[in-house]
């Protein structure tokens, strides 16, 4: 799988599935991060509506799939809950990447774009490394001695990690490369 890191805005990315991780919200009226608020505006308020209805609160393991009804470059938007920021770790980010990949494979998406979450506890390179490790590990299929199931979803070919800090692009790309090498070894 090819994993790239880009500083593109999430509302400009062409992908079969755009994954937006969300931290646990204090209540239904909690303010969206600027990045998620921009996606919400482009989706005509769908994210704010599902939060206001209580269908998504950002709890760990929670997910919700949205289909854009407006002119939006991504075919699908997958919201994935991260849980409380104080409990966020590299391992929980690896799990998030695995869940994102499973969601994409389940919809037979050819590629996925994941918004790298901002956290106060983990620096951005650590976040992108953990996401890369999780993607590689979740995409692995040992099928040397098995007949290929023609109904099974094929491995994902491409993933893009979206960051919003251009100054950290090189460090994030280096950490992503390290994550891929560690997960493949």
Q: What is the pLDDT of residues 59-115, one digit of tens each?
A: 998 999 999 987 899 999 999 999 888 889 999 999 999 999 999 988 888 899 999
Rama region for 108: left / alpha / beta (φ>0; ψ in -120 to 50; rest): left
Residue 81's nearest CA partner among 64, 96, 60, 66 is 60
- Kindly give the pairing relationship between strand 77-83 and strand 63-66: antiparallel
Interaxial angle between packed helices 90-106 and 124-139, expressed in degrees from 0 to 180 and rounded to the nearest 10: 40
Query: Could you tell me the domains of the chain?
Result: 2-143+154-184 (3.40.220.10)
pTM: 0.89
* Average pLDDT score, the chain: 88
Question: What's the CA gap between 181 and 33, in Å, rounded?
Answer: 32
């Amino acid at each position: 799988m090819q994993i790239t890191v880009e500083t593109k805005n999430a509302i400009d990315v062409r992908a079969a599935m755009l994954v937006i991780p969300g931290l646990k919200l204090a209540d239904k009226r909690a303010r969206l991060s600027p990045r998620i608020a921009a996606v919400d505006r482009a989706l005509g308020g769908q994210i704010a509506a599902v939060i206001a209805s209580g269908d998504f609160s950002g709890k760990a393991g929670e997910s919700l799939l949205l289909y854009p009804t407006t002119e939006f470059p991504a075919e699908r938007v997958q919201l994935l809950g991260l849980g409380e920021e104080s409990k966020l770790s590299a391992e929980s980010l690896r799990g998030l990447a695995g869940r994102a990949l499973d969601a994409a494979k389940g919809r037979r998406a050819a590629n996925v774009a994941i918004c790298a979450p901002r956290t106060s506890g983990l620096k951005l390179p650590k976040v992108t490394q953990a996401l890369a490790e999780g993607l590689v590990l979740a995409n692995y299929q040992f099928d040397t001695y098995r007949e290929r199931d023609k109904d099974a979803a094929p491995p994902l070919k491409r993933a893009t990690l979206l960051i919003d800090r251009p100054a950290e692009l090189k460090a994030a790309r280096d950490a992503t490369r390290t994550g891929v090498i560690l997960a493949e070894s």
